[in-house]
Amino acid sequence: MPRTVRDVVFVDGVRTPFGKAGPKGIYHETRADDLVVKAIRELLRRNPDLDPKKIDEVAIAATTQIGDQGLTLGRTAGILAGLPQSVPGYSIDRMCAGALTAVTAVAGGVAFGAYDVALAGGVEHMGRHPMGEGVDPNPRFVSEKLVDESALFMGMTAENLHDRYPTITKLRADEYAVRSQEKAAKAYADGKIQQDLVPVSVRNTNEAAGETGWGLVTTDEPMRPGTTLENLAGLKTPFRPHGRVTAGNAAGLNDGATAAIIASEDFARENNLPVKMRLVSYSFAGVEPEVMGYGPIPATEKALAQAGLTIDDIGLFEVNEAFAVQVLAFLEHYGIADDDARVNQYGGAIAFGHPLASSGVRLMTQLARQFEEQPHVRYGLTTMCVGFGMGATVVWENPHFTSEGDSK
Amino acid sequence: MSTTTELLKGAAELFPDEVVTQAHVRHLDLPFGAGRFALVTLDNGLDHTKPTTFGPQSLANLNAAIDQLEQEAAAGSIVGAGITGKPFIFAVGADLKGVELLKKHDEALAIGKGGHDVFKRLSALAVPTFAYYNGAAMGGGVEVGLHCSYRTVSKAIPAFSLPEVFLGLVPGWGGCALLPNLIGADRAVSVIIENSLNQNKQLRGKQVLDLGIADALFEGADFLEQSLLWTAGVLKGTTEVVRAEIDRGEGWDAAVARGRAIADSKVHGAAPAAYRALEIIEAAKDGDLQKGFDAEDTALADLIMGGELRSGIYAFNLVQKRAKRPAGAPDKSLARPVTKVGVVGAGLMASQLALLFLRRLEVPVVLTDIDQERVDKGVGYVHAEIEKLLGKGRINQDKANRLTALVTGVLDKAEGFADADFIIEAVFEEMSVKQKVFAEVEAVAPAHAILATNTSSLSVSEMASKLQHPERVVGFHFFNPVAILPLLEIVRGEQTDDASLATAFGVARKLKKTAVLTKDAPAFVVNRILTRFMGEIQNVIDEGTPVATAEKAIEPLGLPMSPLVLLELVGPAIGLHVSETLNRSFPERFTVSPNLKRVVEAGKRGFYVYSAENGFKPELDPEVAALLVQGDSVLTEEQVRDRVLDAVAQEIGLMLEEGVVAEAQDIDLCLITGAGWPFHLGGVTPYLDREGVSERVNGKKFLAPGLASVPV
């Protein structure tokens, strides 16, 4: 049977505001599945032309798939969100690249013709499910030296990446972090971020965590506008004595959820849905687990090669800031300046937070907004590093692109 | 007049065991830059199985929260204030336990006034106020929201009502005065009077919106978020709130008249609450809210100090609490599993029982009878009822298939009952027939199987006496209509063992019946009392009192129907049969009316005829009138009432002496759930106590002071 690969588009994406994990965090008493539900419902409210009955799949990622992140979230969150029972769903896990993988998995299905439209997203409630909760690594990893012992501790892998790139100093990482906070604060001031946030009602019964009762979360909790180099200089380096990685130049431990609509371009047009980005290529790559943060480089190489593009064709970058060093390694590899204006224009995870499996869609949502504002840019990419030594990259085309401007 | 704080402090001292609701104030930024907002969360700190209530300390907490809102509103630091509840619960009104403790009129007045004083401050704030009915809202919970400027309601709320009149109160924290002014008198009458007297019917979210009580409806999944977004729209002026015009003319008067007609048809003037509520609704027509609030205070205090409310709360506690923990039932752990049910007989009663067991237990149910035709008819009845449920959408096709496959009929008891765990007989009401049936069943049923009888008047012990294992026989007496009346009298025979009894209670629980343990005494509880009651009415008629006088004498009790209409429902022949049975046991108190005998022999189905010309009101059938042979002793209504109530009080006194049930409360629970006797009588013993009948007849009251009366 002859088949035609179909163009896949990013229709829309939303997220909950991100919170700080822990007993004083805004979401401490909020269930992870409820965060997903609120994101899905907001997505449907914003796109009334999407008939929920037509949704062919719901793919929701979470790293720790137990408790309120277990029970096949894609299915259960769909039912909780009020989707018709005829809409199926599943759970997905690629740690930090969970939501990104949810997008590429359903995108593959759309391109193949299995789906017309699907929801993809992710959640991580690191307060309710701390990293490593319930894990049981096979002892062979260590006994057979399959991976270095530091591979399981993301902060240590970041220190290892500093070793690989000796020119990336703690100062450069801190400078990068300060800029991320500055850019995020500016993006907030300019109203770039709020438009894709879904307000979440939160309950607090713990007086130590502030006012009790029901409240409403409308902004990201982790942000630290006004952060200075001096603030960061004195922070501890918990992963290595006299190391370089601190809480200030890395993303924190966070809670949050994201969701996006992925469709075939034809379906989107026929149903009057917005087309915010067009998928060009995507790729995943593996690297030594102990330098996990190197992953975006080979993943991007592969994705660009598939698309027949070079790094110079990319006009906007959304690089997940798990650690400043990992962004800097990526930039150094491609010879891009630390403060290049194309990179993370609205700031990144160092400011907003990084609830592991949810972050991929945040990158896409922010890239989509930048595409809208910058029709002279034709291509952009979203990329992130992934635990246990992986990288993930998606290359996108700007549907608003007009050749009148700069071709980038 | 003391301040609100002092008033509530005094009230709180009277109620040290209050489960206290906190009023948490939390601030948030509304979406769309609509400003800083204060949201009050009502929360008693317990999970949703312990709903939030308003006792005096709870009101004081809300009052303190409103102090804060008032300051912030006056200072301009908030643009609005809202109020909502903990998950699944908004608030379910006044704490009835606190109401029960009130001993004096001025204490009762303080509760009403205390609530008003706090709630009405919400409407006096310098900023708009919003109530978000996120979950169950009843009584004072609904009312606190009525004092706000705007309301939203969740589609997911399980219950929303003003149940005060049902209990014997009025919605007295603003409900009577505010609701008609918000949604019109007619709709207010529906909520306050009609629903309340219709077994406390609850509203769903959509109805709360459609009635105009709420201004917006949102789904449960993100109810609070959407409510706050809506709030932002209202405050910014982008969302317009439109409310229906209300009829302040003839429509208002007609609504009040309709309310009176509903009250008359339900309580026949016997309980004051509905009428007091209607007076306030009537007076609310001019929109003078403070006058309405004052009237509510007075009505509340009067009712709290009156017997009907105490009876109502007592009755409510019986059906809510005692019904769930039957007095005298053996430990649950002794119960054996029931995985298959046998029904002996396939007549109408047996078929109804088969249907009930099938629907609630969802295990195989086998009907047997003496010929194939009857068996087929019985199974056919159950199948047809399943089809009806399917047609009404009460069950889906899969469930219908499942239930249809589970019910079978066989002629051969050995085939049907060999693996049954619970076998109930509903054959002809005669001892020899029942003994024979049980002997046949015992021969083929497993050794552990329970043998239950639906007898209404025969001795369970005697029925079991000829069996090898009489310890597994229990009485399982249902009330017609089986699907509607909750009562199940579980009769312990002389030899019934604890495991059988525990199994019977376990089955009753699964059947969702209110099980009451009774001794194996003639006619058990409800039929004995009703037969004595009816017998005394028959007696006064036979002695010469006109039928109409005898019937009218009972009206002030507010029973669901008059004695002779009830007789018609039961069937005069059955009524006669039961009176003959009891006459054999207690000839000195239970008579057999010669007039009733004549009516039955004449083949009449009742004393009354109904015609369209007379609006289907009961009229004495001239043929029945011609049959009656009456004496010449004519009593007044009051004399009739005294005779009848004395007889009832005497019989109940004797039943308690005999140990038919554990306590008077069980008698009342039986009368409420098996005979539909009203809450405002508390069944009947609270009424007999407060009317002085108990002391006149038995020299003492049935109930300890305070149980269904104002504590001393």
- Check B221 against A81: CB less than 8 A apart: yes
- pLDDT reading at B29 higher than 60: yes
For B674-703, the pLDDT digits (tens) are: 999 999 999 999 999 999 999 999 999 999
Phi first, then psi: give them for residue B578, nearest 5 degrees.
-65, -40
Contact A218 B31 (CB under 8 A): yes
Chain A CB contacts of B25 below 8 Å: 211, 213
Please list the residues that pair with A213 across neighbouring strands.
A204
CA-based nearest residue in chain A for residue B227? A201
Q: CB-based contact (8 Å) between B224 and chain A?
A: yes
- Nearest CB to A38 within list B26, B30, B225: B225
**β B365-368/B341-344 pair status:** parallel
Task: Tell me: pLDDT of B109 over 80.
Answer: yes
**For chain A, how big is the Rg over CA atoms in Å?**
20
Q: Delimit the domains of chain B by residue range.
A: 4-305, 332-518, 526-659
pLDDT at position B2: 55
Residues of A in contact with B228 (CB under 8 A): 199, 201, 216
CA–CA separation, A153 vs A321, rounded Å? 16
Rounded-to-integer distance, Cα B472 and Cα A232, Å? 80
CA distance B659 to B368: 36
Q: Structure tokens of B213?
A: 């009580």
Buried b (16+ CB within 10 A) or exposed e, B611-623: eeeeeeebebbee
Separation of first and last alpha carbons in chain B: 26
Q: How far apart are CA B136 and CA B473, in angstroms?
A: 43
Could B26 and A82 be called an inter-chain contact, meaning their C-beta atoms sit closer than 8 Å? no
Q: Which amino acid is at A301?
A: E
**Each residue's pLDDT tens digit, B462-477:** 999 999 999 999 999 9
Cis peptide before B481 (omega within 30 of 0): yes
Q: Give the C-alpha separation, B685 to B673, whole Å.
A: 15
Tokens of A92: 């997905």
Q: How far apart are the C-alpha atoms of B194 and B209, rounded to whole Å?
A: 18
Q: CB-CB: which of A200, A203, A211 is closest to B225?
A: A200
**What's the confidence (pLDDT) of residue A405?**
52
Which residues of chain A fall below pLDDT 70?
404-408
Q: Which of B29, B221, B229 sits opposite A37 (nearest CB)?
A: B221
Element at A161 (helix H, strand E) = helix A154-164
Band of pLDDT at residue B570, cut at 50, 70 and 90:
confident
Cα separation, A345 vs B253, whole angstroms: 68
B462-465 long-range contacts, Cβ below 8 Å, gap at least 24?
A: B462/B431, B462/B435, B463/B431, B463/B434, B463/B435, B463/B438, B463/B493, B464/B438, B464/B493, B464/B494, B464/B495, B464/B496, B465/B435
A 10 A CB-CB count for B453 gives 27
Angle at B468 between CA B466 and CA B472, to 5 degrees: 95
> Please, what is the Cα angle at A207 between A206 and A210, to 5 degrees?
100
Question: Within 10 A of B445 (CB to CB), how many other CB atoms are there?
Answer: 25
> For the purposes of burial, counting CB atoms within 10 Å of the CB of A29, is it exposed (0-12), middle (13-18) or buried (19 or more)?
middle
The pair of structure tokens assigned to A391 is 């990288």
B31 in contact with A, Cβ within 8 Å: yes
Among B38, B202, B31, B243, smallest CA distance to B132 is for B38
Question: Which residue type does A93 have?
Answer: D
Helix (DSSP H) and strand (DSSP E) numbers for chain B: 32, 19
Domain B4-305 has CATH 3.90.226.10: yes
Which of B52, B224, B231 should be substituted to probe chain A, the one whose Cβ sees the most A Cβ atoms within 10 Å? B224
Question: Over the stretch B480-515, which tens digit does the pLDDT of each residue have?
Answer: 889 889 999 999 999 999 999 999 999 999 999 999
Q: How far apart are CA B68 and CA B75, in angstroms?
A: 11
Put simply, the answer to whether B84 touches A80 (Cβ < 8 Å) is no
The residue among B180, B28, B157 whose CA lies nearest residue B91 is: B157
Q: Residues 682-701, chain B: which have Cβ within 8 Å of A?
A: none
Instruction: Round to whole Å and give the CA distance between A149 and A141.
Output: 8
User: Of A366, A264, A374, A287, which is closest to residue A321 (Cα–Cα)?
Assistant: A366
User: Pick from B78, B35, B30, B34: which is nearest to A219 by CA?
Assistant: B30
Share of chain B above pLDDT 90, in %: 87
| Portion 47-86 of A in contact with B at CB < 8 A | 80-82
Q: Are strands A8-15 and A19-20 parallel, antiparallel or unpaired?
A: unpaired
CB-based contact (8 Å) between B33 and chain A? no
Query: What six digits make up the tokens of B10?
Result: 């005094």
User: Residue B1: pLDDT band by 50, 70, 90 thresholds?
Assistant: very low
Dihedral sign from CA coordinates of B147, B153, B157, B159: positive
Task: Say if B426 is an interface residue toward chain A (CB within 8 Å).
Answer: no
User: Tokens 């010669």, residue?
Assistant: B594
Residues of B in contact with A214 (CB under 8 A): 26, 39, 41, 84, 224
3-state helix, strand, coil in chain B (%, to 5): 55, 10, 35
Residue in chain A lying closest to B132 (CA): A214
Q: Is B221 on the interface with A (CB under 8 A)?
A: yes
Residue A264, amino acid:
S
* Amino acid sitting at position B154: S
Mapping DSSP to helix (H, G, I), strand (E, B) and coil, where does residue A278 land?
Answer: strand
B43 with A205: Cβ contact below 8 A: yes
Task: State which residue of chain A sits closest to B224, comparing Cα positions.
Answer: A201
Pairwise CA distance, residues B314 & B708, whole Å: 5
Q: Averaged over B643-662, what is the pLDDT?
A: 97
Helix (H) or strand (E) holding B489: strand B487-492
Say if A337 is an interface residue toward chain B (CB within 8 Å): no
Sorting pLDDT into bands at 50, 70 and 90, what band is B457?
Answer: confident
Q: Which of B356, B326, B322, B325 is nearest to B341 (CA)?
A: B356
pLDDT for B155 beyond 80: yes
Instruction: Enumerate the H helices of B184-306 as residue ranges.
Output: 185-189, 196-197, 205-210, 223-236, 250-267, 273-283, 289-304
pLDDT per residue over B185-226, tens digit each? 999 999 999 999 998 999 999 999 999 999 999 999 999 999
Domains of chain A and any CATH numbers: 8-127+253-277 (3.40.47.10), 147-250+280-396 (3.40.47.10)
Please name the residues in contact with B584: beta carbons below 8 A apart, sequence gap of 6 or more. none
Please answer yes or no on whether B30 and A216 come within 8 Å at the CB atom. yes
**Which residues of B are part of the catalytic machinery?**
143, 164
Q: Which tokens go with B119?
A: 């709630």
The residue type found at B46 is L
Helix (H, G, I), strand (E, B) or coil at B93: coil
Among candidates B29, B41, B222 on the partner chain, residue whose Cβ is nearest the Cβ of A214: B41
The one-character DSSP state at B611 is -
Question: Under CATH, which number does the domain B526-659 receive?
Answer: 1.10.1040.50
Name every chain B residue with its beta carbon within 8 A of the beta carbon of A42.
Answer: 222
Residue A254 parent element (H or E): strand A254-264
Whole-number Å distance between alpha carbons of B482 and B624: 30
Partner residues linked to B571 by β-bridges: none
> What is the CA angle B395-B400-B401, rounded to 5?
150
B29·A216 Cβ contact <8 A: yes
- The answer to whether A357 and A62 have CB atoms below 8 angstroms apart is yes
- Judge whether residue B612 has pLDDT over 70: yes
CB pair distance less than 8 Å for B45 and A215? no
**What is the Cα gyration radius of chain B?**
28
CA-based angle B440:B445:B451, to the nearest 5?
80
Residues of A with catalytic roles: 96, 354, 385
CATH class of B332-518: alpha beta
